[in-house]
Amino acid sequence: MDQLLDSTVTSQLLQRRRERSKVFVRELISNASDALEKRRCAELSGQIAEGPSEIRVITDEVAFSATEVFSQF
């Protein structure tokens, strides 16, 4: 009985962690989109030089973490 309870609790905790990770990734993508839009507006208004840019999200599934990297070429 104790093993079943431990297994159930562990499963629920992992599920919550996955859900939080999904929300976190959605927020990263939203922030990346906002950053690219802000850059595009600055380019169109002549505030900065035009040029390609990229935002990459690097994930580490083992550590349940992600890093957002902005690159301007």
Q: Are 36 and 57 in contact (CB under 8 A)?
A: no
CA distance 37 to 42: 9
Residue ranges per structural domain of the chain: 2-72
pLDDT band at 55 (very low <50, low <70, confident <90, very high): confident
| pLDDT band at 45; cut points 50, 70, 90 | very high
- Spatial neighbors of 59 by CB under 8 A, at least 6 apart, are 25, 65, 66
Residue 57, pLDDT score: 73
The answer to whether the beta carbons of residues 35 and 55 sit under 8 Å apart is yes
